[in-house]
Copies of this chain bind each other. A is one copy, B any other.
Amino acid sequence: MYPLAEGMFAPRNHWYVAAWSSEIGREPFGRWLLNEPVAFYRTADGEAVAVQDRCPHRHFPLSKSRLVGDDIECGYHGLTFNRHGRCVRIPSERGVSQAFDIRSYPVVERWQWVWIWPGDPALADPALIPDHDELGITAGSFETIGDIYYPVPGRYMLMHDNLLDLTHLAFLHRSTIASDGLSDAAEIRDQGAGWISSRRALSNVACPLYFQQTFAYAGQVDRAFGMKSFLPCLHSGFDEFRRPQSDPDDAGGELGTIRVHHAITPGRLHDAHYFFAFGRNFAQGDAAFGEAMVSGLRVTLEEDMTATREIEQLLQGYDVVPDELLLRSDAHCVDGRRRFEALIRAEQGSAA
């Protein structure tokens, strides 16, 4: 499916953010992920559980059911499943058959994120989850705010297209986080095992409006920003602001740096989930300041949601998606798309 090759949706043998920790509790909760319905809950000792959100008997959603101890009991005829998806009770029968077992998904909770593995459980190695210390979430000098969620009104790849091409800051986010010359700035690309990155630097440009407020500073800045993309789910970026070299008193002095963490998870074919977190290395411990920053950032995040909705709607107006044209500046984005396709191709014919 566009923008991937026809017939390709999403790679499955990978970790994806499924939910914020705060979303999962003792009341079951349902979400479509990778085009499958998944039910979440916590056991009494707090362990997050993810199982198929469909009773195999009459297709009733388990997320609309209730917990009995650490098991989930179907709200229709009472079939009961444990945290591993094993059917442990059929009220109208003496025993249970393994035929009634449902799928359970490997789940790992890291920081405030609940990661899920939608593919072959045998391959679910938690070491494959990006290291939250290295991301600067659970270690280092950044204070990170999470719990920001948006339902994405379009196919998940539109969000990757967005995050893999930061030249959109200059236009879509013109009134908030854009800088002059941003589209022209040289892109420095890099790659490693499971990730690709892009960064740009700007010298002596006007401080973007949003950051003028953040730093209470209206002068010129040197700005460096970029994104490290751990495909297929997480983009971790930074945006660093310094006084310009020409500043007479504090040449190159840091005004502040933020980190942004964007987790994108496919929902159904034409929607997705967006889990956003951001860190700062300044004004730490000041909760009101953090809340104000989040509040301002939401304007930018909602511009991305609007663009995604507009494009999805336009695409759906056509019987056949029109051809797109590529720019040289799309090289990074196209590289990302090709990697998604390679991940999917690698799974085709596999057991997942």
Contact of A314 among B54, B100, B165, B329 (CB under 8 A): B54
Minimal beta-carbon separation of A25 from chain B (angstroms): 20
A326 to B58 alpha-carbon distance, docked (Å): 8
Set of chain B residues within 8 Å of A183, measured between Cβ atoms: 77-78, 91-92
Q: Which of chain B's residues has its CB closest to A311's CB?
A: B59
Minimal beta-carbon separation of A56 from chain B (angstroms): 5
CB within 8 Å of B: which A79-130 residues: 90-93, 99-100
Report if A232 contacts B (CB, 8 A). Answer: no
- B165 contacts A325, C-beta separation under 8 Å: no
Contacts A92-B329, A324-B58, A325-B57 given; indicate if A75 touches B171 (C-beta within 8 A).
Answer: yes
Set of chain B residues within 8 Å of A161, measured between Cβ atoms: 58
Contact of A56 among B56, B170, B325 (CB under 8 A): B325
A168 to B65 alpha-carbon distance, docked (Å): 13
- B168 contacts A310, C-beta separation under 8 Å: no
Minimal beta-carbon separation of A153 from chain B (angstroms): 14
Report if A322 contacts B (CB, 8 A). Answer: yes
Interface residues contributed by chain A, number (CB under 8 Å): 49
Set of chain B residues within 8 Å of A168, measured between Cβ atoms: 76-77
- B61 contacts A165, C-beta separation under 8 Å: no
Report if A26 contacts B (CB, 8 A). Answer: no
- A167 contacts B268, C-beta separation under 8 Å: no
- B324 contacts A59, C-beta separation under 8 Å: yes
- A59 contacts B322, C-beta separation under 8 Å: yes
Set of chain B residues within 8 Å of A58, measured between Cβ atoms: 161, 311, 324
- B59 contacts A327, C-beta separation under 8 Å: no
A183 to B80 alpha-carbon distance, docked (Å): 14
Report if A315 contacts B (CB, 8 A). Answer: yes
A170 to B90 alpha-carbon distance, docked (Å): 12
Set of chain B residues within 8 Å of A53, measured between Cβ atoms: 314
Interface of A is mostly: loop
Question: Interface code A303-328, partner B: CB below 8 Å = 1, 0 otherwise?
Answer: 00011001100110100011111111
Set of chain B residues within 8 Å of A340, measured between Cβ atoms: none
Report if A172 contacts B (CB, 8 A). Answer: yes
Minimal beta-carbon separation of A347 from chain B (angstroms): 19
- B61 contacts A314, C-beta separation under 8 Å: yes
Minimal beta-carbon separation of A3 from chain B (angstroms): 9
Set of chain B residues within 8 Å of A317, measured between Cβ atoms: 32, 37, 268
- B91 contacts A184, C-beta separation under 8 Å: yes
Interface residues of A (CB under 8 A from B): 32, 37, 53-54, 56-61, 64, 73-78, 90-93, 99-100, 161, 165, 167-168, 170-172, 183-184, 268, 306-307, 310-311, 314-315, 317, 321-329
Q: List 20 A-B contacts (CB under 8 A).
A: A37-B314, A37-B317, A57-B325, A57-B326, A57-B327, A59-B321, A59-B324, A60-B311, A60-B314, A73-B171, A75-B171, A77-B168, A77-B171, A77-B183, A90-B327, A91-B170, A92-B183, A92-B328, A93-B328, A100-B325
Besides A54-B322, A59-B315, A93-B328, 19 new A-B residue pairs in contact (Cβ under 8 A), listed by A number: A53-B314, A56-B324, A57-B326, A58-B311, A58-B324, A59-B321, A60-B311, A76-B307, A77-B165, A77-B171, A77-B183, A77-B327, A78-B170, A78-B171, A78-B183, A91-B170, A91-B171, A92-B183, A92-B184
